[in-house]
Structure 1
Amino acid sequence: MNGNHKDNDQELEQAIMTFQVITDTHVTADPQHVHNRNLDRALKDIIAVSKDSIGIMHVGDVTDHGFEREFTELHRILSENEDGLPKLLYAVGNHDVGLGVWEKRISKFLTETGMSAPYHTHWIKGYHFIFLGTEKGLQNFCDLSEEQLKWLDGKLSEQASLDKPIFLFLHQPLMDTVAGSYVEQDWYGVTQDEPLRAILAKYPQAILFTGHTHWELEAEHTMADGQETMPAMFNASSVAYLWTDDDEHKAGSQGYYVEVYADKVLVKGRDFITRRWIQEAQFQVEYKQ
């Protein structure tokens, strides 16, 4: 596997499939809140630009607190954009389940999103999509049980081939990998960091998308390329608001369009406010044939 910035040549080859990756929408109870309006903008952009999308992969912090009224707002926004809207699949974020009684919070999240469990798997057009998620209501970190890690190892091995990507989604990034995850930035967050790395190291053909940090896609280390020893990892930024390498809040809304080809995957950063591609965040992950 090889990861690099995509060149400017127009892609003439037809993609096998396309999908989007969004995260950290932080929907609030206020219909006019900027977070809610940003999600509406993002969905409208996806509907207009990617009519053949097989799905939107949401990497967590769907809501700001996991409250009933916030989920009501989420469903309103989805309903108002249902014409042409791709199916959404969700990872769980700390804002969704980090307050209150864990059992009640995770039950609420799963009911509202339609997901089967904190971690789940899907086969789409012959490609494996695997979602991981915390099993404790921690403030920032995620906690993956030994059972989940064993499940992950087994799922990654299913029909695995070095020339075919496996798509992984987890809210929190591994430490010192992508933008915002460095120790001094304090936004990494997997309790089982080393055990998870050990499993992922066996599947360098995987691509891991994470959220949590809100770091803008123009930042350094938006992509961490494993160079055949670890999966490529991507910081997916945030739909609600952004963060910078200067450790400052920034208004904005970003995400990824992903195009899958027989020998490569293009990961294309998108600004949902300006409805333009982010030139600093156009990546290509190549696979040996």
Structure 2
Amino acid sequence: MKDNRTGQRDGNIFKKEMDRRAFLQKTTLAASATIGLSLANSLNLITASAASSASIMNSAGKKPDLVFPVISDIHIHNSSTKTLEKFINTLEQLNMIVPKQDAFLVVGDLTDYGYASEFDKFMSAYNTHKQPGAVSMFAIGNHDYWNGLSAADAQKRFLAKTGMESIRYHKVIKGYHFIILGTEDGLTEGTFSAEQINWLGEQLKIAHEDDWKKPIFVFHHQPIKGTVYGSEWGFNQNRDLFYNTLKEYPQVISFSGHTHYPLDDPRIIHQKDFTSIGTSTGAYLWLDAGRIQGEVPEGADVLNQALIVEVHNNKVLIRRRDIHHNDWTGEPFEINYPANKRKFSYTEDRDNKAPFFTKDAMLSINHEMTTATGMAIMFTQAKDDLLVHDYKVVARHANSEEVVKEFLAFSEFYKDPVPNPLTLTIEGLQANTAYQIEVHALDAYGNVCKKPLRALGKTKTMAAANPV
């Protein structure tokens, strides 16, 4: 089980991680390390929660008025079964943990190219596993247009294959309003016309006048720029008109897909004038640019996540599910009603606490992986109240203290379990040269630790690195 607040991990991490003796044998211990402490204390481990197998109905302690899963970016592929198998696993797992669904939402990119065969695969799997009492609501995404058809014909295919009444529609379920929007063409960033946004405004007014104290759920594939984690991939055209239309209704919860950014990051939910939340993916992971692991890191196709939304008479709970890990990730998001902007919890300025390394944290040089031009470092992961997102690694010449290398690396928070210690490689160094290495921890909101880890290391000679 992953806990973003403390970084604590399952007890089975012992099976995957190096014990302290092996760590010390392979590395040069940083001066700040405390040798006598145990690895268990260093990593601050806890046992797994039983929540992975618990029904969502029972885990809350009280049955909600309304409950529905939200998924997106399934990307069913014409010539591959991998995403189809993941989709089936998602449906089966959600049926176990949410046995009585009132609705089921998919926020776009049901398919990879919008081919008829892809829709057929999607609907066959869905119809086999769907709950008869759940209202099916699907939004069209940009990938659902990538079939060579005109936008109008691609929309006709989407509607014919999924049974949706339109690419935009408004439904009321148990007294709660659901408004689904459709991106209007295959542009990656998305297109929402002024005409559709004006229609959205009319539907919001209807929902508000029906009961202003209740949440209004809005679904659209691409995110609004400047909101959730990954919203740099959102749309520009009519962005402000879209935002300002929602801005009038603080009770709105807007769900978007498209980014493939993971639910583990606390910025996946955003509150300012209303609530926005990203829905991750059932296909493959995508991440921020500028880290050495890349935007699509190794093992990205493992990721498969979902949201489960519980609606109570005075609050909405949004739970994050790692389908691929069969467990919850992080704490549920809780949104109280009637909505009040001044009492929003998930604002951009909500986290001013910097991450930190514990007293027994170690930074060491892995000599077995060090070469004449590269140095491998291993270190204990830092801790944070929400999430350690990145590490800034700095390599200085030991004598001159000149910075010769500096880069950002993900904490690999998106993995299950998160690797601890974390191993990173510093490339582009000179042979037979001593370097002072610094590791600074950064959280999701850019707060930087006050005390970095430091260690002294040396690259190998060319002869040692390339023995005859």
Task: Output the CA distance in 2 between the equivalents of 1:266 and 1:29.
Answer: 36
Consecutive aligned runs of 4 or more in structure 1 exceeding 3 Å deviation: 82-87
Task: Output the CA distance in 2 between the equivalents of 1:40 and 1:285.
Answer: 30
Task: Check 1:188–1:155 CA distance in 2 against 1; reply closer, same or farther (3 A cut).
Answer: same
**Hey, what does 2:84 align to over in structure 1?**
36
Residue 237 (structure 1) shift: 0.2
Q: Which has the larger radius of gyration?
A: 2
Cα contact 1:141–1:188 (8 A) shared by 2: yes
| Superposed CA offset, 1:157-178 (max 9, x none) | 1141442100000000011211
Cα contact 1:23–1:59 (8 A) shared by 2: yes
Residue 259 (structure 1) shift: 0.2
**Pair 1:198-2:244 in alignment:** yes
Matches within 5 A, 1:128-277: 128-135=177-184, 137-160=185-208, 161-182=211-232, 187-226=233-272, 230-245=273-288, 246=291, 247-249=295-297, 250=300, 251-277=302-328
Task: Check 1:124–1:85 CA distance in 2 against 1; reply closer, same or farther (3 A cut).
Answer: closer
Cα contact 1:173–1:190 (8 A) shared by 2: no
| Superposed CA offset, 1:173-226 (max 9, x none) | 0112111113xxxx1125210100111110110000000000011124100012
TM-score (norm 2): 0.55
Task: Check 1:237–1:159 CA distance in 2 against 1; reply closer, same or farther (3 A cut).
Answer: closer
**Hey, what does 2:46 align to over in structure 1?**
none
Task: Output the CA distance in 1 between the equivalents of 2:207 and 2:201.
Answer: 12
Cα contact 1:61–1:94 (8 A) shared by 2: yes
Task: Output the CA distance in 2 between the equivalents of 1:164 and 1:65.
Answer: 37
- Identify which range, 137-146 or 120-129, moves more after superposition: 137-146
Gaps of 5+ in 1: none
- Identify which range, 53-62 or 247-256, moves more after superposition: 247-256
**Hey, what does 1:12 align to over in structure 2?**
61
Task: Output the CA distance in 1 between the equivalents of 2:188 and 2:130.
Answer: 32
Cα contact 1:99–1:139 (8 A) shared by 2: no
Cα contact 2:190–2:234 (8 A) shared by 1: no
Task: Check 1:275–1:85 CA distance in 2 against 1; reply closer, same or farther (3 A cut).
Answer: farther
Task: Check 1:98–1:202 CA distance in 2 against 1; reply closer, same or farther (3 A cut).
Answer: farther
| Superposed CA offset, 1:111-136 (max 9, x none) | 1111122211100000000001122x
**Hey, what does 1:113 align to over in structure 2?**
162
Task: Output the CA distance in 2 between the equivalents of 1:99 and 1:71.
Answer: 12
DSSP 3-state at the match of 1:63? coil
DSSP 3-state at the match of 2:250? coil
| Superposed CA offset, 1:60-110 (max 9, x none) | 000000001111211221243246683421011000014431111111011
DSSP 3-state at the match of 1:207? strand
Cα contact 2:169–2:181 (8 A) shared by 1: yes
Cα contact 2:68–2:308 (8 A) shared by 1: yes
Task: Output the CA distance in 2 between the equivalents of 1:162 and 1:66.
Answer: 38
**Hey, what does 2:406 align to over in structure 1?**
none
Greater relative contact order (Cα < 8 A, sep 6+): 1
Cα contact 1:120–1:132 (8 A) shared by 2: yes
Task: Check 1:215–1:104 CA distance in 2 against 1; reply closer, same or farther (3 A cut).
Answer: same
Aligned residues with identical type, % of pairs: 31
What letter is aligned with 2:255?
F
DSSP 3-state at the match of 1:108? helix
DSSP 3-state at the match of 1:76? helix
Q: How many residues align?
A: 272
Task: Output the CA distance in 1 between the equivalents of 2:198 and 2:187.
Answer: 24
Cα contact 1:59–1:169 (8 A) shared by 2: yes
Gaps of 5+ in 2: 6-50, 52-58, 340-468
Q: 1:23 aligns with which of 72, 86, 94?
A: 72
RMSD: 2.0
